[in-house]
């Protein structure tokens, strides 16, 4: 593995490996592009099979954060941190505070908050050692769970998908299959039910699945059958890489739109497979930007009204990208990347202007 070649290929500026022998924490911070300003991205804790797997995850997600921030018109660069460990066994106070210290060492170049397998409480512990931790509870002056805003952004994006496909943003009577009922998929359900959609869902946690089934009366399926659900929209809200050679042929939908990051195992090949099957793909970093918008808004000083207005912009942004893809005869993901990169290029032009500190 030539890490420098990987960085060159994907445009990364910096990869930082951190290890603390006392707590045993192993963490990687990947900084992709700081053109737009201070880099931002969540920290997740996963028991990866290898260092290579952890590194690839950090690099892939940090690149997506660059595009997500740029497309959302936020003046932040993209980065990501991963902690390589078992969240059930390894996580404790000293472990989390050690991570906070590693982030503090970067002196604001990187700002982060709790992501997969980490909670707001964990973020609060990290913040005892670091002033660059966001996504904290409202009791502590933060904005609370970003999953709620992400869910709202997904709902707004679903209306844009319906408008592009069927000429009407109304979702009443449309069938949707939701994969994953966690921090985003769960809150999303209320929007879907209120809109009059017919919901089928799955989750690896049977208790969560049964709770939402009882609450909403939705149809439930086993995890491996969700790809074959008869639906208009397939909504991935769990792990990434789920759209691949094995799953795409099973899909019976007209659209894929959900909150999971990096849904396409291979951006170009699997994006083309979806297009060949006439399935519209809503680029993940566009439709799931609500959480990032919320956390960056928290940095400025959390304002719920401003946040809702900014999340509403996902609707027009998606329609613009779909139309761009149609006119230029390219994949929606390629159009989304071009959209984000155009903003980065424009801001890069003014970086030559010296501003005294």
The CATH number assigned to the domain holding 96 equals 3.40.50.10860
Confirm whether 132 is domain-assigned. yes
Q: Is the domain of 40 the same as that of 94?
A: yes
Q: Is the domain of 17 the same as that of 103?
A: yes
- In the three-class reduction of DSSP (H, G, I as helix; E, B as strand; rest coil), residue 225 is classed as helix
Which of 113, 140, 167 delimits the end of a domain?
A: 140
Which residues make Cβ contacts (< 8 Å) with residue 218, sequence separation at least 6? 189, 193, 199, 200, 201, 212
Q: Is the domain of 277 the same as that of 216?
A: yes
pLDDT in tens, the chain (357 residues): 799 999 999 999 999 999 999 999 999 999 999 999 999 999 999 999 999 999 999 999 999 999 999 999 999 999 999 999 999 999 999 999 999 999 999 999 999 999 889 988 999 999 999 999 998 777 777 777 788 999 999 999 999 999 999 999 999 999 999 999 998 999 999 999 999 999 999 999 999 999 999 999 999 999 889 999 999 999 999 988 899 999 999 999 999 999 998 899 999 999 999 999 999 999 999 999 999 999 888 887 888 889 999 999 999 999 999 999 999 999 999 999 999 999 999 988 887 676 776
Burial (CB < 10 A; 0-12, 13-18, 19+), residue 117, is middle
Angle at 312 between CA 123 and CA 152, to 5 degrees: 50
Confirm whether 126 is domain-assigned. yes
Q: Is the domain of 106 the same as that of 125?
A: yes
pLDDT per position as a tens digit, 26-77: 999 999 999 999 999 999 999 999 999 999 999 999 999 999 999 999 999 9
Cα–Cα distance between 196 and 174 in angstroms, integer? 8
Phi-psi region of 107 (alpha: psi -120 to 50; beta: other; left: phi over 0): left
Q: Is the domain of 317 the same as that of 196?
A: yes
Tokens standing for residue 345: 């290029």
Note the pLDDT of residue 357.
67
Q: Residues 137, 152, 63, 336: what is their CA dihedral angle, to the nearest 10 degrees?
A: -160
Confirm whether 12 is domain-assigned. yes
* Number of domains forming the structure of the chain: 2
CATH (domain of 238):
3.40.50.720
Note the pLDDT of residue 350.
83
Note the pLDDT of residue 187.
95
Note the pLDDT of residue 157.
98
Q: Which of 311, 336, 312, 316 is nearest to 146 (CA)?
A: 311
Which residues make Cβ contacts (< 8 Å) with residue 235, sequence separation at least 6? 154, 158, 176, 177, 178, 179, 185, 188, 256, 257, 258, 259
Cα–Cα distance between 119 and 115 in angstroms, integer? 7
Q: Is the domain of 175 the same as that of 293?
A: yes
Confirm whether 353 is domain-assigned. no
CB 240 within 8 A of CB 263: yes
Rounded to the nearest angstrom, the gap between the alpha carbon of residue 141 and the centroid of all alpha carbons in its chain is 23
Confirm whether 213 is domain-assigned. yes
Q: Is the domain of 155 the same as that of 108?
A: no
Q: Is the domain of 133 the same as that of 257?
A: no
Q: Which of 8, 26, 80, 163 is catalytic?
A: 80
Q: Is the domain of 87 the same as that of 157?
A: no
Confirm whether 352 is domain-assigned. no
Angle at 186 between CA 183 and CA 192, to 5 degrees: 135
CB 134 within 8 A of CB 114: no
Tell me the C-alpha to C-alpha distance, in Å, between residue 105 and each of 13, 99, 132, 279, 326.
17, 10, 10, 45, 46
Tokens standing for residue 135: 């996504």
Note the pLDDT of residue 138.
76
Q: Which of 66, 1, 57, 70 is nearest to 28 (CA)?
A: 57
Q: Is 222 a catalytic residue?
A: no
Note the pLDDT of residue 52.
96
Q: In what order do the strands lie in the sheet with 280-281?
A: 219-220, 198-202, 175-179, 233-236, 255-256, 280-281
Longest dimension (CA), the chain: 60
Q: 241-248 — which CB contacts under 8 Å span 24+ positions?
A: 241/265, 242/179, 243/270, 243/274, 244/270, 245/270, 245/273, 248/273, 248/274, 248/277
Q: Which of 308, 310, 150, 126 is nearest to 237 (CA)?
A: 150
Q: Is the domain of 123 the same as that of 152?
A: no
Confirm whether 86 is domain-assigned. yes
Structural domain including 55 reads 3-64+77-140
Residue 234 dihedral angles phi and psi, to the nearest 5°: -100, 125
Q: Which of 254, 209, 253, 263 is nearest to 230 (CA)?
A: 253
**In DSSP terms, which residues pair with 219 in a beta bridge?**
200
Q: Is the domain of 202 the same as that of 108?
A: no
Q: Is the domain of 210 the same as that of 254?
A: yes
Confirm whether 111 is domain-assigned. yes
């Amino acid at each position: 593995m030539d890490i420098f070649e990987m960085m060159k290929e994907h445009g990364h500026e910096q990869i930082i490996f951190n290890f603390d022998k006392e707590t045993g924490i192993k963490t990687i911070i990947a900084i992709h592009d700081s053109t737009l300003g201070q880099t931002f991205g969540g920290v997740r804790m996963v028991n990866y099979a290898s260092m290579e797997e952890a590194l690839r995850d950090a690099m892939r997600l940090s690149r997506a954060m660059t595009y997500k921030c740029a497309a959302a018109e936020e003046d932040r660069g993209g980065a990501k941190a991963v902690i390589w460990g078992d969240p059930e066994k390894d996580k404790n106070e000293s472990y989390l505070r050690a991570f906070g210290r590693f982030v503090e060492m970067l002196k604001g170049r990187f700002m982060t908050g709790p992501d997969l397998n980490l909670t707001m409480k964990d973020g609060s512990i990290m913040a005892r050692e670091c002033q660059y931790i966001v996504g904290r509870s409202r009791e502590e002056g933060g904005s609370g769970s970003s999953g709620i805003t992400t869910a709202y952004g997904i709902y707004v994006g679903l209306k844009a998908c319906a408008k592009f496909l069927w000429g009407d943003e109304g979702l009443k009577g449309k069938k949707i299959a939701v994969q994953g009922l966690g921090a985003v998929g769960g809150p999303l359900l209320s929007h879907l039910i209120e809109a009059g959609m017919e919901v089928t869902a799955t989750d690896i946690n049977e208790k969560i699945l049964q709770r939402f089934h009882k609450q909403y009366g939705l149809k439930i399926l086993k995890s491996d059958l969700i790809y074959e659900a008869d639906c208009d929209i397939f909504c991935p809200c769990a792990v990434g890489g789920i759209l691949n050679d094995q799953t795409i042929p099973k899909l019976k939908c007209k659209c894929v739109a959900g909150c999971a990051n990096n849904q396409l195992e291979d951006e170009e090949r699997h994006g083309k497979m979806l297009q060949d099957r006439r399935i519209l793909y809503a680029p993940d970093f566009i439709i799931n930007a609500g959480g990032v918008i919320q956390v960056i808004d928290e940095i400025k000083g959390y304002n719920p009204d401003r946040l809702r207005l900014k999340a509403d912009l996902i609707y027009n942004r998606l329609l613009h990208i779909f139309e761009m893809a149609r006119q230029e005869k390219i994949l929606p993901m390629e159009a989304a990347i071009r959209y984000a990169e155009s903003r980065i290029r424009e801001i890069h032009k003014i970086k030559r202007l010296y501003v005294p500190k």
